[in-house]
Structure 1
Amino acid sequence: MDKNQQGIQYMKEGKWEDAVKVFSEAIEENPNDPVAYINFGNVLTAVGEREKAINFFNKAISLDEKAGTAYYSLGNLLYESEKYIEAKDMFEKALRAGLENSDTFFMLGMTLQTLDQPKLAMPYLQRSVELNPNDVDARFQYAMSLAYAELYEELIQELNEVIKLDPNHSDAYYNLGVAYAGYKEDLQTALEYFNKALEIQPDHILAANGKKTVEAALQE
């Protein structure tokens, strides 16, 4: 096991100091290897040293402009700092560098949604789901992009897939309630979904409001 692999193992075990030690040794032994800088940056991120982590990711990129993982890691840091435009640029660079995995597509889609560009987000979220069909978060966010686009049949289908993966996903039940109340005009089924959301999460304010509205309409 080389030092980078050893350091990653230490990270999985939460042995941060040991990981820092072996990644430092890896950099000393091969200062032109971008992988060691990326790994060091990931350790620093994990322990909250974000500014230092950025320096290591930038160093990796200076050594290899195709270091997709470095762009992705920078994108995450920028996203968490609410620097969404800069984050979007980093995720796009990660994709161009060949890091075409479900996480990269998901984070680019999430960033675009946060920037109020749901139509642009949709294909990236869809691709994330295609690459990892069991990712509940990706599938739910893809469903939300379908809602923005008013593609209600596809929305209902995706939300049902979310529930199959996570039977306790209160937001999925709530949004099914909205779809059935508004698009399907099936108030009884909508009520059942709102009740299910509240059964799972009693303090779900939106579901409570939806239930109240539907019950009032059913009594008219």
Structure 2
Amino acid sequence: MDSIKQMNEGIQQLNKNNMSGAERAMTEAIKTDPTHAEAYLNLGKLYRKQQKWVDAEKAFRGAIENMGDKPEGDYYFEIGSVQVAQSLEPGTSRAEQEVKWRDAIKSFSEAIGLNPKLYRAHYQMGTLHEKLDEPEQADQAYRKCIELNGKYSPCFVSLGNMYIDYGFSNVAMAVLETGTKVNDTDADMWNGMGRALLNLNQPKDAVEAYKKAKRIDPDKPDVLFGLGMAYAEIPMRKEAAETLNEFVSKAGNSPEHIKKVANDTIARMDSPI
């Protein structure tokens, strides 16, 4: 019971953003009961919040080693999430990233083995297979996620955008149209619809989709770029230039080649010829 009290104290301190107090209490809980899996789990969450990825993974593995006869798929899910975060650290090479992605896929697979209905693990596996240029495996994972939770819109968005990236915008449309019926307030969903429609040479319909996305998230760079390019295709020159100028002002970390396309299109829209 002392270990539980100490862990709960750690959670309270974490909720107060008192990191040192939370770590101290959770560490004491583990010292009191070295088999307290939930204490390891919460210590891992603390380290994850601090982006101490190595410590977080070690704590989550402590939770797995001590889960006994109550196996928890979430514990493996947490490790997979940390491994993904490690792959995104600055300076990580592509080869190092791929190793981390493979490790994370294994962790998510373990999570699914313990809890087949853990739709978030299927979704994460889909994103990783997509990064590894394995569209068939990604497709299976995204569709399984949708099967398990038909209201989880990121699955529809990611699956639809993957089909667009691989040149199957007509298939993407079917996925994303279904997604909008599930969640019509997801800007990424409507942005995907705009991309698909623009690729299918339907710029007027693309404009309407992008406008819906913009109403939901007025400052989203991807939406502003897509809407501007759709206007340019109609062509609605004034609207295209205004929207793309707005994109440039909010582009932030958008790829440089996208910014160049925007600026080139603005110049073209402003030209009288």
TM-score > 0.5 by shorter chain: yes
Change (3 A) 1:174 1:108: closer
RMSD: 3.3
Deviation of 1:144 after TM superposition, in Å, equals 0.8
Contact 1:27–1:36 (8 Å) recurs in 2: no
- TM-score scaled by length of structure 1: 0.76
Is 2:112 the counterpart of 1:75?
A: no
Q: Distance in 1 between matches of 2:108 and 2:144?
A: 13
With CA pairs under 8 Å and 6+ residues apart, which has the higher RCO, 1 or 2?
A: 1
Q: Runs of 5+ in structure 2 lacking a partner? A: 1-7, 9-36, 88-99
Counterpart secondary structure, 2:66: helix
Report the CA distance between 1:113 and its aligned residue.
1.6
147, 152, 159: which is aligned to 1:96?
Answer: 147
Compare CA radii of gyration and give the structure with the larger one. Answer: 2
Distance 1:12 1:128 in 2: 31
Tell whether the 8 Å contact from 1:40 to 1:53 is kept in structure 2 after alignment. Answer: yes
Alignment of 1:54 with 2:110, yes or no, is no
CA separation of 1:164 and 1:21: change in aligned 2, threshold 3 A = same
- Matches of 1:79 and 1:116, distance apart in 2: 14
Residues 197-212 of structure 1: pairs in structure 2 closer than 5 A: 197-198=247-248, 200=250, 204-212=259-267
- The alignment status of 1:28 with 2:52, answered yes or no, reads no
User: Is this contact kept in 2: 1:191–1:215, CA < 8 A?
Assistant: yes
2:237 pairs with 1:187: yes
Say which of 113, 116, 135 aligns to 1:65: 116
- CA 1:212–1:116 in 2, change beyond 3 Å: closer, same or farther? same
User: Is the Cα contact below 8 Å between 2:170 and 2:196 reproduced in 1?
Assistant: yes
For residues 174 and 74 of structure 1, the distance between their equivalents in structure 2, rounded to whole angstroms, comes to 29
Question: Which of residues 114, 118, 130 is equivalent to 2:165?
Answer: 114
Q: 1:80 Cα deviation (Å)?
A: 1.7
TM-score w.r.t. the length of structure 2 is 0.63
* Cα-to-partner distance string for 1:78-105 (whole Å, 9 max, x where unaligned): 1122222221111112222336411222
- The aligned counterpart of 1:12 is 49
Identity, in percent, stands at 20
AA of the residue aligned to 2:45: Q
**What is the rounded CA distance, in whole Å, between the counterparts of 1:46 and 1:170 in structure 2?**
24
Gaps of 5+ in 1: none
| Residue 169 (structure 1) shift | 4.6
